Structure 1
Amino acid sequence: MTLFRLGYVAMSVELKNASPSQTMSYKRFQEIGDPEVAIRRLERITKSNIHNCLRLLKHNKAHDIEFFRLSSRLIPLATHEDLIEWDYLSGINEDLIKLGSFAEANEMRLDFHPDHFVVLNSPTKEIFNSSIKVLKYHYLLLKQMGINPTHRCVLHLGGRYKDKEKSLERFIDNWSLIPSEIQKLVMIENDDTSYTLENCLYVCEKLNIPLVFDIHHHLANHDETEWEIQWERVVNTWIDSDLPVKMHISSPKSESAFKSHADFIDVDMFLDFVNKANGSTEQIDCMIEAKQKDGALFQLVDELKGHPNVVMETASSFRWKK
């Protein structure tokens, strides 16, 4: 039986005053007037974000949650083009080490999902270079935490740019321009508008990149083939990774807002996936992308506990018996 491990995204609705994404706009930075004072303000915000992230990991440990997506906004304005001289890691090295050490000591899988403006198939050189800069920021954070950066950043294939096939091939062409250490960061996720599971499998198999299957996106945007027919191919993209297979689970907010995420997870939708994927690999880490964050995880667990085919292994992981 496969072990299914549950995780959630970046913030908690249960733990109060623990945002790891406090920020400052560049406009506010300029309004401060003194660049040195403004930088010190950014550094204080950053330390608070990292401190809150550690609080979240301790909260997760208390509930046996070993899978968590870090906020990409830990360091506000870190990649802003007008702050290129700012050594944003200076002064927070020990904070990041403490964060990574706690995760390692408690065998927690941490990763990132950089924002949508990271586009590796862009035909515009400036956007491509900016995307590499953002990925380097994530790489440096992970390295400073003492976490192996390999397969820690989920990305979409990018935009259509009026020619989907050409844009898909541009991703492959651009791949050779990406430093090898940054290449190793990347996992690819099927999206809900442009690139389907089959499109992503084509790229992942060609470039040896793990595929993160998003079942909600698949329901919103798919080819004729059902996902379970392609599932073995998805699992095989993880063969060279030291990490377990990863997938995303969310539920449609409504029929009219199908692509939007609901507050909680539809347990029947999730268990349909579990039933079909069970036995395909030793472990699948399931990232919950729901508006209620850890609240959605806790509600899902409560519903799973009452199911006759679910065997809970910990407070946030289970196996499926038939």
Structure 2
Amino acid sequence: MILRFGYVSMALPLWEATPSRTLTYTNWKKLDEKSRVEKLYHLTEQNLRNTIRVLHYNIAHGIEVYRMSSSLVPLATHPEVMWDFKTPFKDLFNEIGALVKKHQLRVSFHPNQFTLFTSPQEHVTANAIIDMTYHYEMFEAMRLQNEGTINIHVGGTYGDKVKAVNSFNENFRNLQPHIRNQTTLENDDKTYTAEETLKICEEHGVPFVFDYHHHFANPGEGEYVNLLPRILKTWERTGKVPKFHLSSPKSEKQIRAHADFVDIEFALPFIKALKDFGQSADIMIEAKAKDQAALQLVEELGKLRGFKRINGGAIEI
């Protein structure tokens, strides 16, 4: 079995390579019409070119799993702006997609915490649909709409978890089927446990991204190992190996906060659980040190008996 490790958004060793340069609506409003267009174009081009730089870095270092920044296109979903970002940057989007396909990379997006389908307020759901559509359209511009996934949390409870889950089940169905088809759900560290999230995934035929650190902080009553067969089953229709999230607590007091690197002793029980199932998987490292944390963990795992490092970001067991 093979475990591939990836990271989020920015490769730290690259100079001036953030793919998340943005512009606030307040500052946009201060500009004249020509300057508004120029600023949006300039920032978007920088973000897309930096994404290409990061992808080349990943390819060179053997890192095949990567989460793209949700902020590639400034103000793309703001109701007063919502501009055509695909046409002027067609070639750059195509270049990103071509790199991903050529090197068989696995890419995803993770919209922010305000992308919710549990809210009783219609405008919150409407905004969530706009945001999910934006992420899907970026994949579409890259010609990756059938490969890339968009990962979200279930959301809040608003004082009544049963009612909130019912709202999710109803509101999520308002999302267009082709976008739902590329959506994954993740358990969180405060509200929805792994078992609760898994049940929602099974209800909608959505793959479940199990977050080991979140489960540690918000375990519920069941052992995650007992859920693994069901978790793995949610991925069967996709043809992809299951995907997981991994990080470790910053400290004993700050268990929800992410440490800079992944503590191998914290991670090993989870890694060994996957090993016992003989299941290849892709694992997104969510540590603060990003690519450096992923590379360090792979190096440490590669030194263990029965673990063989096969490239910069992957282990064969």
- Tell me the residue number matched to 1:160: 157
Alpha-carbon distance in 1 for matches of 2:118, 2:245? 23
Residue type at the aligned position of 1:100: G
Task: Give the superposition deviation at 1:265.
Answer: 0.2
**Is 1:267–2:291 an aligned residue pair?**
no
TM-score by length of 1: 0.95
Decide whether the 8 Å contact of 2:136 with 2:145 is kept in 1.
no
Give the total of aligned pairs. 317
Residue type at the aligned position of 1:25: T
- Tell me the residue number matched to 1:44: 42
Task: Give the superposition deviation at 1:138.
Answer: 0.6
Coordinate RMSD, CA, aligned: 1.2
* Residues 25-36 of structure 1 aligned to structure 2 (within 5 Å): 25-32=24-31, 34-36=32-34
Task: Give the superposition deviation at 1:285.
Answer: 0.2
Residue type at the aligned position of 2:119: S
Task: Give the superposition deviation at 1:309.
Answer: 2.5
* Residues 237-248 of structure 1 aligned to structure 2 (within 5 Å): 237-248=234-245
Q: 1:277 is matched with which residue: 249, 274, 277?
A: 274
- Tell me the residue number matched to 1:215: 212
- Tell me the residue number matched to 1:133: 130
Alpha-carbon distance in 1 for matches of 2:14, 2:148? 28
Bigger drift between 281-290 and 206-215 goes to 281-290
Structure 1 residue ranges without an equivalent (≥5): none
Structure 2 residue ranges without an equivalent (≥5): none
- Tell me the residue number matched to 1:75: 73
Decide whether the 8 Å contact of 1:159 with 1:194 is kept in 2.
yes
Cα 1:125/1:113, change in 2 over 3 Å? same
- Tell me the residue number matched to 2:110: 113
Q: 2:311 is matched with which residue: 286, 291, 314?
A: 314
* Residues 16-31 of structure 1 aligned to structure 2 (within 5 Å): 16-31=15-30
Task: Give the superposition deviation at 1:242.
Answer: 2.3
Aligned with 1:202: secondary structure?
Answer: helix
Task: Give the superposition deviation at 1:260.
Answer: 0.5
Alpha-carbon distance in 1 for matches of 2:264, 2:52? 29
- Tell me the residue number matched to 2:175: 178
Decide whether the 8 Å contact of 1:150 with 1:186 is kept in 2.
no
Residue type at the aligned position of 1:60: N
TM-score by length of 2: 0.97
Task: Give the superposition deviation at 1:157.
Answer: 0.5
Write out per-residue CA displacement over residues 54-110 of structure 1, whole angstroms, 9 at most, x where no aligned residue.
0000000111111100000000111011113x2122311111000110111011011
Alpha-carbon distance in 2 for matches of 1:152, 1:135? 11
**Is 1:6–2:5 an aligned residue pair?**
yes
Decide whether the 8 Å contact of 1:151 with 1:210 is kept in 2.
no
Aligned with 1:264: secondary structure?
Answer: coil
Task: Give the superposition deviation at 1:167.
Answer: 0.5
Aligned with 1:223: secondary structure?
Answer: coil
**Is 1:147–2:144 an aligned residue pair?**
yes
Bigger drift between 214-223 and 300-309 goes to 300-309
Decide whether the 8 Å contact of 2:302 with 2:315 is kept in 1.
no
Task: Give the superposition deviation at 1:151.
Answer: 5.9
- Tell me the residue number matched to 1:203: 200
- Tell me the residue number matched to 2:94: 97
Decide whether the 8 Å contact of 2:6 with 2:66 is kept in 1.
yes
**Is 1:257–2:259 an aligned residue pair?**
no
Residue type at the aligned position of 1:305: G
Alpha-carbon distance in 2 for matches of 1:94, 1:282? 37
Decide whether the 8 Å contact of 2:299 with 2:309 is kept in 1.
no
Decide whether the 8 Å contact of 2:298 with 2:315 is kept in 1.
no
Residue type at the aligned position of 1:261: H
Identity of aligned residues (%): 35
* Residues 52-63 of structure 1 aligned to structure 2 (within 5 Å): 52-63=50-61
Task: Give the superposition deviation at 1:44.
Answer: 0.9
Alpha-carbon distance in 2 for matches of 1:295, 1:276? 24
Decide whether the 8 Å contact of 1:151 with 1:187 is kept in 2.
no
Bigger drift between 165-174 and 245-254 goes to 165-174
- Tell me the residue number matched to 1:301: 298
